[in-house]
Amino acid sequence: MRRPATMKDVADAAGVAQSTVSRILNDAPVLIRVSEATRTRVRAIASELGYQPHPFARALRGAPSMLLGAVVRDITDPFFAPAIEALSLQAKERGYSVVLGHARATPDEALALTAVLEARQCDAIVLLGDLGEVPRLVEDLRKSHVRVVALWHGTQHHGHGFPTVSVDNRAGIRAALTHLTALEHRHIAFIGGDSHGDIRERKAAYVEYLREAGLEQPDGYIRDVPNGISGGEQALSALLKLRQRPTAIITATDILAMGAIHAAYENAVAVPEELSIVGFDDIPIAAAAVPTLTTVRMPLTEIVSAGVELAVGDGAWSTSGLGELPRLVFEPDLVVRRSTAKAAPQSPAGRGVRGN
């Protein structure tokens, strides 16, 4: 039980050559000219000894490692948990296991190297989120020899030469804003940041839409905060202090929205009666928020699925090398729940009437 059994062990025990064992254990069709006698004997001994093939040795011979690397921008971002789940599931369906990489933790040179070092073990790498903050890592990855696919890098800045899969941020924000304006909101603020591509794009789409719609946009309506619950809380508290309070808020992510909802509650501002809030991503908890969160559903499965296909599928993009880099964009849907309602005409009268 100490040392795992090797092919040689099996061969010795069976009184045959190690190469014979290899043949028998690998060839699925029984037809591959090996005598049935030795075949069964070797098989029996192999399972008796608990033989397991050694993946490293196989990989050394050029076999795929069946390892899919996942480098997450910020593993503490709640959005990526479902993303990793989805990735893990998709990978498994293709027989791959997921290796978690680290981007944020120590964005120094040494770490970047390490990440690439790990890369050697993987058949492909999936980048989750905008890794603009660790350019060195991206650089190393580019001159690495594994296939790299970037998910949620935004649709704009494609400095790196990786195929990308993203969501149509502009369409999502426009859907959300169309919903709010249809509810007669005229004072709509935005909570987001500049941290990474997707959020920047969402902000840009907000600015664009408001300009087009000719909606007022006082100073302070755009809140740049870190992407987290407390970021959302801070931003909302600040917005409530504004002379012209917004009647609706659109947040760049659901996590910000959750923080905003909570801060509204703490400040005794009724959602949606006094304030409508829209999120982005449709993370699982959004459907159980109090009140349930109107948000833009991220086509998570589609995006991850496409990413995995690009990474380890038998797609043709790798073979070409010259053709256009795939740049897939998936469309999100607006999910209307209870955190949005018609704008209150003047003073909030509907407080406590939970539109049920």
Partner DNA sequence: TTGTATGCGTTATCAG
Partner DNA sequence: CTGATAACGCATACAA
Among 1, 2, 18, 208, binds DNA (CB under 7 A): 18
Give dist(CA 297, CA 334) in Å, integer.
6
Which span sits near DNA by CB under 7 A: 18-26, 69-77, 103-111, 219-227? Answer: 18-26
Give dist(CA 328, CA 308) in Å, integer.
12
Pick between residue 3 and residue 243 the one whose CB is nearest to DNA: 3
Q: How far is the CB of 184 from a copy of itself (least distance, A)?
A: 25
Q: Answer with the entry of a copy of itself, DNA, none that 6 interacts with (C-beta below 5 to 8 A by kind).
A: DNA
Among 61, 143, 145, 243, binds DNA (CB under 7 A): 61
Kindly report the number of other CB atoms within 10 A of residue 74's CB atom: 21
- Calculate the alpha carbon distances from 118 to 100, 102, 110, 207 in Å: 10, 11, 13, 41
- Calculate the alpha carbon distances from 132 to 127, 198, 213, 277, 304 in Å: 11, 11, 32, 29, 20
Which span sits near DNA by CB under 7 A: 1-9, 94-102, 225-233, 313-321? Answer: 1-9
Q: Answer with the entry of a copy of itself, DNA, none that 322 interacts with (C-beta below 5 to 8 A by kind).
A: none
Give dist(CA 102, CA 119) in Å, integer.
12
What's the distance, CA 302 to chain centroid? 11
What's the distance, CA 335 to chain centroid? 19
- Give yes or no for residue 19 binding DNA (CB under 7 A): yes
Among 12, 34, 158, 265, binds DNA (CB under 7 A): 34
**Residue 356: HSE in the Cβ half-sphere, 13 Å Cα cutoff:** 6
Give dist(CA 287, CA 246) in Å, integer.
24
Q: How far is the CB of 317 from DNA (least distance, A)?
A: 25
What's the distance, CA 145 to chain centroid? 23
- For the chain, the straight-line distance linking the first and the last C-alpha, in angstroms and rounded, comes to 65
Q: Answer with the entry of DNA, a copy of itself, none that 25 interacts with (C-beta below 5 to 8 A by kind).
A: DNA
The answer to whether the CB of 257 falls within 8 A of the CB of 232 is yes
Q: Using alpha carbons only, how large is the chain's radius of gyration in Å?
A: 27
Q: How far is the CB of 75 from a copy of itself (least distance, A)?
A: 5
Enumerate binding residues for a copy of itself (CB under 8 A). Answer: 1-4, 50, 52-57, 59-60, 65, 67, 75-76, 78, 81, 84-85, 88-89, 92, 95, 97-102, 105-106, 114, 116-118, 120-121, 143-145, 229, 233, 258-259, 261-262, 265-266, 268, 284-285, 287-292, 352, 354, 356
Pick between residue 53 and residue 299 the one whose CB is nearest to DNA: 53
Interface with DNA (CB under 7 A): 3, 6-8, 15-20, 22-23, 25-26, 33-35, 37-39, 51-54, 57-58, 60-63
